[in-house]
Structure 1
């Protein structure tokens, strides 16, 4: 008995290191998916290739539909970004935008200038990102997908960075961390809030792999959240460990809650950004 207790103490906290107001799935879904009249929320999903951006989008829509959803192309085995265009996925009044992955080199991914145009609402859905030429330098193709006078509903209201939790202490490069840091500086300049989602946390320890509900009791998961906070300069309260729907056939409540907790914060931050924009617009 003492051996079992010692094993659990080594890998798990007696009490969750992060509390959730509810583990009731229907309550959480109503809270996160409630729609307010005439309010459209745009969330941009960014992250390295293979981190789980498209899988996160599929997971969120799977929860809403209560069945597997797979329209966002998720191909984790590739080393180059599968997503090349700006793609939109609607989830009631929430719009999730997927785009080319954040690459380690300047020859891949997208340009910082294009990110600014994207969050300001200048780039329209379907544009194919060029790692060398900005949309303003991309001739007729760039003109066709560039909106000169975007409105509030065209802008991004929050950004979610997606990072593979298993890469934090190993494969993630200093160059990639620096690139994400530079992106955060641009977001801060534009008053765009951001959160960080750590995927594949079930691979960090057996206890979470056996039951995702243990995610907030796992010492390994808490430590990776702390490490990610130090590495990316993002407060721990805005970092969310999750497991996406990838190999799972059924929709499981214990998997849904961490995903919805992350989405709830992104949605709250997005609403704050909309309110900030409207207040400053009225003050002009």
Structure 2
């Protein structure tokens, strides 16, 4: 319990964060066009009905909260579709869950999120890298409960032996809390990079979202429109870029909607910006798979 409490209380304390005169990524101006794009998105590849987005990263990164945040933005009201835990010591998500977001009665959006057990320190804790690789290839059935001590094998109940393109992951998104960027252990970096390499070999595009930016930057607490004006947060993006090799334009900053009881335009704009890019890159992958 002491280690959990330590994680709750210990936070990297950022220095005063000067603001840039202009945001280094413009999201507010594109809010409406991004919303229209997301609402109207349909995969061109007729082999699939939904584009599949897999979220992965360390325990407590905010993967489930991001799914809820997207649902909140699209509904215009708070949502809690994906169960999230405010007190974490080990992964709260243990099953391979597919989340379809409701667009209107009887209709869903043409993309789904897959939430997955988080990475943890140690070889027998958290999701196994090999299981994430199996998920990329569509071999993990929806509802499978991950076993940190045993890789999913062919013949197991949760193993899908004949995945279709619909079952496979179309874009991989790494989720990292901002306060962890400078403190990622070599072991955690290796796990994330191993999954990244496997996705690259499969041609799956990759993005990253850095979460909990409001907890790290006072200027974002004051005004969420400052997310992409913060020099401190810009530096965190550059550090993460150097750690994992992801291009800077593939790393996004978000504040999850886990405190507001009403939608916030600054928060929503950043989330929609990241979501649109996920759909765009995933769509490119699907087009390449057309036969």
Tell me the TM-score normalized by structure 2: 0.86
Mark the runs of 5 or more structure 1 residues left unpaired by the alignment: 1-8
Find out whether 1:113 has 2:127 as its counterpart.
no
Aligned to 2:262: 250
Check the 8 A contact 1:104/1:179 in 2, yes or no: no
Cα drift, residue 248 of structure 1 = 1.4
Q: 2:209 aligns with which of 197, 200, 208?
A: 197
Q: 1:227, 1:113 → 2: CA distance?
A: 26
Instruction: Provide the C-alpha distance between the structure 2 equivalents of 1:86 and 1:270, rounded to a whole number of angstroms.
Output: 20
- Aligned partner of 2:162 among 135, 146, 149: 149
Q: Deviations over 1:175-233 (max 9, x none)?
A: 11111111111111111111110001112221111111011111111111111111121
Residue 13, structure 1, aligned to residue 20, structure 2: yes
What is the CA distance between 1:25 and its match in structure 2?
3.7
Residues 120, 66 of structure 1: alpha-carbon distance in 2 compared, 3 angstrom cutoff: same
Q: Pairwise CA RMSD of aligned residues? A: 1.8
CA distance in 1, matches of 2:58, 2:124: 14
Q: Which runs of 5+ in 2 are unaligned?
A: 1-15, 102-108
Question: How many residue pairs end up in the alignment?
Answer: 265
Partner Cα separation in structure 2 for residue 10 and residue 195 of structure 1: 25
Q: CA deviation at 1:10?
A: 6.7
In structure 1, distance between residues paired with 2:130 and 2:211: 28
1:126 aligns with 2:138: no
Structure 1 pair 194–24 and aligned structure 2 pair: CA distance change class (3 A): closer
State the distance in 1 between where 2:189 and 2:134 align: 22
CA contact (8 A) 2:172 2:204 kept: yes
Measure, in 2, the Cα distance between the counterparts of 1:85 and 1:135: 13
What residue is the counterpart of 2:70 in the other structure?
A: 60
Give how far 1:35 is off. Answer: 2.9
The higher relative CO (CA closer than 8 Å, separation ≥ 6) is in 2
More helix by share: 1
> Which has more radius of gyration?
1
